Amino acid sequence: MDKVLREEEISHLVEELISRYQVFGPKRKGSDHVFDEIRSSDELDLSYVTTILPPKKFLLPQREKILSFGPGATPEEPKPPRKQLIFGIHSCDLNAILILDKVFLDKYPLPSYAERRKNLVTVALTCTEVDRACFCSSMGTGPSPDQGYDLLLTRLGGRYLAEAGSPEGEEILNLVEGEEAEPKDYEAKHRLIEEVRGKFRKRVDTEGLPEVIGESLQHGIWDELGEICLACAQCVMSCPTCYCFDVRDRLELNLKEGFRFKEWDSCLLLEFAEVALGGNFRGSRAARIRQFIGHNLGWGGGCQYEALDGMFKCVGCGRCIRVCPVHIDLTDAAARLRGEIVAKSV
Amino acid sequence: MQNPYRPIPARIDRIVRVRRDVKTYTLSLLNAEDEAFQPVEPGQFIMISVPGLGEAAFSVSSWNSEGRVFDTTIRRVGRLTSYLDGLSEGDEVGVRGPYGRGWPLKESEGKDILLIAGGIGLAPLKPVISYIAHNRERYGLLEILYGARTPDELIFMDEYDAWRRIKDTILRLTVDMVPKGVIWDYNVGLVPILIEDVEVRPEGSEVMVCGPEVMMHFVVKALTSRGFSEDQIYLSLERRMKCGIGQCGHCQIGSKYVCRDGPVFSYAEIMGLPDVNI
């Protein structure tokens, strides 16, 4: 049964959740927000718009052991002590997790990912504010999710509509008092979503976009972006769906034991497409920025995994736009590839 | 849940020096019954792993019906391959795979086969030759075009006579240049010049190509101008695979993953993809 919760019930709910799960949520850090462990409900700041890093860090740690070797080899990853719960995850980031699931669960499940995913509970939060770089609305991934959450909260004035999306979400809802949701509450939610949709300043026309990009591989925009791109890889590091990684070994001083680990990697880095004898299939920055934008808006979603069913890899969170030191904006790039004239970005 | 990154122990049964910096290693699984390792098909690749040094993808250079004892021919170029170069028969390494999609042998039955290789690119095509020799009646003419920079850089020279003795088989060789004092009775020039004389006709044939991408570029040009269509030319692509299972992203070219959808592709499948220079 969906409920309507008063503002103070949310704090109560968070305290209850902290006693049952390891809870992560948006916390203020300087002028930004980060997903961090929440030990008390007042640490949580649900008025956030976005976080520096997306929550993929909970499922794909920056560095992760995939294999141990040597006489004293230990199991790869200890299990998390308790189930983990992300409180207040926005729709873009939640949809990003659904894309990561396709990569790491579908054909060759990665045991560490599968374990963490099984133990992850999500309490999603409909966005009421939109940042200058957000464009989830055009990617069909926001401002409110329609799947993938255990519980969905939507703030309606001083009250929250709380909708369960799974049996675990139902159980969570049973932890708090609240009135039964009525048709007018769902209507209010839909009105709110429409109102938020009106606030987006960035958009991407996704109609036939994979084909447009596929036919634009020789477009002058790539050289132009390659000229200004610093290949710093911040876009990739802050992307909620960029999953590429490098694999390396580390040997202990005794030279007998060690481990193999995977670590976040980026197609923007020169070494990424290197092969033997110094060959490099993406030696130019133009080719590398084309790979990043192409993967996100072109070949990444449309056809990379049949199971993605036409979803794009990009979820429109806007982080890559916010962090780019030279203001490369993939929404502008997409528009220019269609032949639209784009005013200088913010 | 099985860790897809766990290598399976394998023993080096035999090491044969192919060239100054190239050796063929015959590997067998320590536990021959290990079900994590499926029989190898020609054109597929395996990951070879040395704890502490890492892992890399190598093509398989032999074919036998068991597919669980196999050769891999490796050129010494980096840290891992230099380490392998120093190993002896009886030493152990880790393997996983085999991965990817190999040469279209089943689809090619009843057809003439044209194999075109450059340099060490002959290694992934060698199992095709053994496979056809073993199933000779199922294929038409077999024509092999092979080139390297110098006569010294040709690989598998000991095998050429045996290949020529396979029924209805032609072997044509070329080198880019012949150093002074070296005797060379075959062609001189880049691999595509051999295409001028091929006997295999486009009708009812398949072409399988492996070599440097720049060579494959000119080979494809020469083939298409002779009337071979994009979907009867198969190419094996090189990328540095880190995972082999479509997760790490290193071998992505447009919508394809070389490790999962390749390494063998028809030219039709990869035409127009980004970062392929063929």
* pLDDT tens profile A132-154: 999 999 999 999 999 999 999 99
End-to-end distance of chain A based on CA atoms, in angstroms? 44
Q: Does A287 touch chain B (CB under 8 A)?
A: yes
Distance CA A139, CA A18 (A): 33
Q: Does A253 touch chain B (CB under 8 A)?
A: no
pLDDT at A71: 80
pLDDT at A302: 47
pLDDT at A299: 82
Residue-wise pLDDT for B112-155, tens only, equals 999 999 999 999 999 999 999 999 999 999 999 999 999 999 99
* ipTM, two decimals: 0.92
Q: Closest by alpha carbon to A95, among A42, A51, A55, A38?
A: A55
Q: What is the dihedral of CA B104, B107, B113, B118, to 10 degrees?
A: -10
Indicate the range of A104-108, A284-288, B147-151, B263-267 predicted with least confidence. A104-108
Provide the sign of the torsion angle of the four alpha carbons B47, B49, B52, B53, taken in this order: negative
pLDDT at A306: 57
B247 and A103 within 8 Å at the Cβ level: the answer is: yes
Q: Closest by alpha carbon to A198, among A133, A128, A141?
A: A128
Q: Does B9 touch chain A (CB under 8 A)?
A: no
**From the CA of B74, how many Å to the nearest CA of chain A?**
12
pLDDT at A346: 44
- Please tell me what DSSP assigns to residue B263: B
Token pair in block for residue A335: 């528009």
Read off the pLDDT band of A341 (50, 70, 90): confident
Residue-wise pLDDT for B101-110, tens only, equals 999 999 999 9
Q: Closest by alpha carbon to A190, among A214, A227, A228, A163?
A: A163
Q: Does A35 touch chain B (CB under 8 A)?
A: no
Residue-wise pLDDT for B111-124, tens only, equals 999 999 999 999 99
Contact (Cβ atoms closer than 8 angstroms) between residue B255 and residue A291 = no
pLDDT at A74: 64
A110 and B52 within 8 Å at the Cβ level: the answer is: no
Half-sphere exposure of residue A150, counting CA atoms within 13 Å on the CB side?
20
Residue percentage of chain B with pLDDT more than 90? 91
Read off the pLDDT band of B95 (50, 70, 90): very high
A217 and B274 within 8 Å at the Cβ level: the answer is: yes
Residue B162 has pLDDT above 60, yes or no: yes
pLDDT at A276: 84
Which chain B residue's Cα is nearest to A265? B248
Which chain A residue's Cα is nearest to B81? A276
**From the CA of A161, how many Å to the nearest CA of chain B?**
38
Residue-wise pLDDT for A78-126, tens only, equals 666 689 999 999 999 999 999 999 889 887 888 889 999 999 999 999 9
From chain B, the residues in CB contact with A69 under 8 A are 51-52
Average pLDDT for chain B: 95
Q: Does B252 touch chain A (CB under 8 A)?
A: yes
**Mean pLDDT of the B41-46 span:** 97
pTM of the model: 0.94
**Mean pLDDT of the A206-216 span:** 92
In this structure, how many other beta carbons lie within 10 angstroms of the beta carbon of residue B178? Answer: 14
Q: Does A64 touch chain B (CB under 8 A)?
A: no
Instruction: Give the 3-state secondary structure of chain A.
Output: CCEEEEHHHHHHHHHHHHHHCEEEEEEEECCEEEEEECCCHHHCCCCCCCCCCCCHHHHCCCEEEEEEECCCCCCCCCCCCCCEEEEEECHHHHHHHHHHHHHHHCCCCCHHHHHHHHCEEEEEECCCCCCCCCCHHHHCCCCCCCCCCCEEEEEECCEEEEEECCHHHHHHHCCCCCEECCHHHHHHHHHHHHHHHCCCCCCCCCCCHHHHHHCCCCCHHHHHHHHHCCCCCHHHHCCCCCCCEEEEEEECCCCCCEEEEEEECCCCCHHHHECHHHCECCCCHHHHHHHHHHHHHCHHHHCCCHHHCCCCCCCCCCHHHHHCCCCCCHHHHHHHHCCCCCCCCC
Residue A292 has pLDDT above 70, yes or no: yes
Read off the pLDDT band of A303 (50, 70, 90): very low
Who among A69, A258, A273 is closest to B250 (CB)?
A273
From chain B, the residues in CB contact with A295 under 8 A are 252
Cis? peptide before A111, omega within 30° of 0:
no
What value, to the nearest 5°, has the Cα angle with vertex B258 and ends B114 and B141?
10
Chain centroid to Cα A124, Å, comes to 13
Backbone angles phi, psi at A32, to 5 degrees: -115, -175
B77 and A108 within 8 Å at the Cβ level: the answer is: no
* Greater model confidence, A124 or A309: A124
From chain A, the residues in CB contact with B245 under 8 A are 107-108
pLDDT at A305: 59
- Please tell me what DSSP assigns to residue B137: G
Distance CA A265, CA A248 (A): 11
Residue percentage of chain B with pLDDT more than 70? 100
Total residue count of chain B as it appears in this document: 278
* Greater model confidence, A210 or A34: A34
Q: Pick the residue of A221, A237, A275, A282 with the most B CBs within 10 A to test the interface with B by mutation.
A: A275
pLDDT at B47: 97
pLDDT at A309: 62
Residue-wise pLDDT for A8-64, tens only, equals 999 999 999 999 999 999 999 999 999 999 999 999 999 999 999 999 999 999 999
pLDDT at B124: 98
Q: Does B78 touch chain A (CB under 8 A)?
A: yes
Contact (Cβ atoms closer than 8 angstroms) between residue B77 and residue B19 = no
Contact (Cβ atoms closer than 8 angstroms) between residue A124 and residue A91 = yes
Buried b or exposed e, range B235-254, using 16+ CB within 10 angstroms: bbbbbbbbbbbbbbbbbbbb
Which chain A residue's Cα is nearest to B244? A108
